[in-house]
Amino acid sequence: MTGNDGGESPAQRLIAAITRGLMRAMVRPTFRAGRPIEQQRLRVARVGRLTPTPRGVEFRTTTCGSVPGESVTVPSAAPAGRVILYLHGGGYCVGSPPTHRVMTGHLASRAAARVFAAAYRLAPEHPFPAALDDAVAAYTGLLADGVGPSEVAIAGDSAGGGLAVATLLRLRQLGVPGPAALVLFSPWVDLGLGALEAPPPGEILITRPWLEECARFYLAGRSAEDPLASPLRADLRGLPPTLIQVGTDELLLTDSRRLYAALVAAGVEAELQEYPRRWHVFQMNAGLLADADRALDAAGEFIRSRVAAPSATP
């Protein structure tokens, strides 16, 4: 499925061009191999503070299953009872719940859900499987708080998308019932990078050297063949309904396509939505870019249609 049909308005074409240029100038220099990780984190945090979040959404620092993070709610809306565990991107090395408030805020609103955005531990200080352990702890914390598996979706972007799939695999190993749905935005699911193709001309954010450095920091000598680090290499049977969204102008396009093919081969209900001429995690431009709004509308509808909302029923 494609996210747009090429019939963009002149205004949207202009907005997309300006946004692309600004991101190339302001964000791309952040994700540069060799730049100290602390500098990358500071730059990403600055950009996050400049990014407008949706109106009417409340962000509150909290914990879930001993994992710190943010609770994201829409106070003016009636509680629906469904919950999204959100795992942010950043190559397992940068990013935080505050840097991804555009994603979590819009998902809370459009999916009529409460979101818990986990501040999982980052590499290189905390290599694999620290992030995975935290994601599992956050999910089991939701269950311990009385949320049923049928009331939960797990979502994530980029490395957080790969972590989301790995979390499902680890829950299966532990015999813990998995969530009702999985939503992935430009997931990074193969840390070996072996099948990565040359970046398309429209790639404006990430580079192969940066991904290689992040993978090295995260793995810390462990094998990229480990399916809990590179879930594309895992047995994917039994995963919940999965939505994948990706832009065609990004380096990780092949990861999304390969994951989709593997899910279908494993008998999983899966949908792949490709958005022409869009960059890595373009959904971060929601509220400005029409494709980002359409994509998050589709993600919200996917979650609402598959995740139970018990308090919404009489």
Considering the chain, what percentage of its residues have pLDDT values greater than 70?
96
Please answer whether residues 272 and 244 qualify as being in contact, where contact means their C-beta atoms are separated by less than 8 angstroms.
yes
Structural domains of the chain, ranges and CATH numbers in brackets: 10-312 (3.40.50.1820)
Average pLDDT for 107-126: 97
List CB contacts of 39: < 8 A, sequence separation 6 or more. Answer: none
7-21, 50-64, 228-242: range with lowest mean pLDDT: 7-21
DSSP letters for 264-287: HHTT--EEEEEETT--TTGGGGTT
Which pLDDT band holds residue 312 (cuts at 50, 70, 90)?
very low
With a cut of 90, say whether residue 76 has pLDDT above it. no
Catalytic residue among 71, 158, 230, 256: 158
pLDDT at 277 over 70: yes
> pLDDT tens digit string along 144-163?
999 999 999 999 999 999 99
State the pLDDT confidence band at 14, using cuts at 50, 70 and 90. very high
Exposed/middle/buried for residue 61 (C-beta within 10 Å: 0-12, 13-18, 19+): exposed
Phi, psi of 249 (to 5 degrees): -100, 50
What's the pLDDT score for residue 23? 86
Does the pLDDT value for residue 238 go beyond 90? yes
Number of H helices and E strands in the chain, helices first, is 8, 8
pLDDT band (50, 70, 90) for residue 299:
very high
* Percent of the chain's residues with pLDDT above 90: 82
Q: Please give the C-alpha separations between residue 143 and each of 83, 120, 173, 264, in angstroms, as whole numbers.
A: 11, 18, 17, 28
Judge whether 151 counts as a catalytic residue: no
Closest to 181 in 3D by CA, of 39, 85, 267? 85
* 250 has catalytic annotation: yes
Tell me which range, 69-78, 190-199, 257-266, 281-290, is most confidently predicted by mean pLDDT: 257-266
* Marked catalytic residue, from 70, 151, 213, 250: 250
Burial class (CB in 10 A: 0-12, 13-18, 19+), 10: exposed
Contact 263, 256 (CB under 8 A): no
Omega of the bond leading into 187 within 30 degrees of 0 (cis): no
pLDDT for residue 204 is more than 50 = yes
Q: Give the count of beta carbons closer than 10 Å to the beta carbon of residue 53.
A: 18
99-111: per-residue pLDDT in tens?
Answer: 999 999 999 999 9
Could you tell me if 33 and 214 are in contact, meaning their C-beta atoms sit under 8 angstroms apart? Answer: no
Which pTM value belongs to this model?
0.95
Mean pLDDT along residues 25-50: 92
Spatial distance between the Cα atoms of 73 and 88, rounded to a whole number of angstroms: 17
Over residues 184-192, mean pLDDT: 97
